[in-house]
Amino acid sequence: MSEIVEEEEEEEDNSSQLYLNDAFTMATISEENEVEDTFYVAVGKSKSSFQALSWTLNNLVITPSSTLLYLIHVFPQINHIPNPLGVGMVPKDQVSDDQVESYVAQERGKRRELLHNFIQSCSASKVQVDTILIESDFIAKAIIDLIPILQIQNLVIGANNSQLRKIRSRKGNGIADQVLQNAPEICKVRIICDGKEVNEQIARCIANTNANANDTSKSKKKDQKNEVSSLSCVCFNF
C-alpha cells in the first residue's frame, strides 16, 4: 500500500483547515483504474449520513471500478479539552502540550473509527474511496467553500425528518438547507432523507410557499386598495 501524505491548506482567516488525502485514510485509489464518475458525500455521526452514502452507492454508482467517491467530514476545532481534574472543559492553552496532544490523538482515533464504517461500505461495493477532512466550527460554510476549490459537481447530503420539515417550510438553518441554498451553480446538491432523494419534494414545497406568499401579498394590496377607495368615497360624500 502506497504511503498517503497529508496536505494541509489553511484559509486566510484561519477559521478552518482542509486536509486532503489524510494520513489515516484507510483506503487508497488504484492507479490502474481510470476514473469516469466522481461523487462527494458529506458524512458525520448521524444516521442520515449513512443513509446518504447508501443511497449514493445504490443510485449513482453505475460502474464501481471507474467511480471515485470522496467522503467529506467536517470536525470542530479543538479549543478546549477535558479538565485534567475531571470537571468540565478548560482552554487548551491552560494545560500542557502533552495533555493537548493526548486529547487530539483520542479525537483522531474516534474519527478513524467513524470513517472506517463508511469506507467499509464503499469497499464492499468495490468503489474507490478517499477522504477529505476539514477542521472548522462552521460545517455548512466549510462544505460550501470547498465546492469551488475542488470543482465539486455532485454532492450528496443526508437530512433527518425534522430537518426536512424545516427546509420545506423555509424555516431551516441546518447544514443541508444552508448548502442547498448557497452552493454554486456548478454543483448538483442532492438531499437524502430516509433513504430517498427529496429535492423534488423540497422544490414543490418551496414553490407552494412562495405562491401562497404571493397570493397573500396580492390579497393585502387589494384590501388596502379597497380601503383607500372607501375612504375616498367618504371624504367626497358631502
Whether the per-residue pLDDT at 130 is higher than 80: the answer is yes
Name the residue with higher pLDDT: 4 or 49: 49
- What pLDDT was estimated at residue 227? 59
C-alpha cell at 58: 445504490
> What pLDDT digit, counting tens, does each position of 72-110 carry?
999 999 999 999 887 899 999 999 999 999 999 999 999
CA distance 119 to 125: 10
Contacts of 157 (CB under 8 A, 6+ apart): 41, 42, 52, 143, 175, 176, 179, 180, 189, 190, 191, 192
| Residue 91: closest CA among 106, 102, 78, 110 | 78
Whether the per-residue pLDDT at 30 is higher than 60: the answer is no
Whether the per-residue pLDDT at 19 is higher than 80: the answer is no
- Tell me the pLDDT of the chain averaged across its residues: 80
Give residue 47's pLDDT band: very low, low, confident or very high (50, 70, 90). Answer: very high
Grid-cell match 426536512, residue found: 164
Domains of the chain are: 7-197 (3.40.50.620)
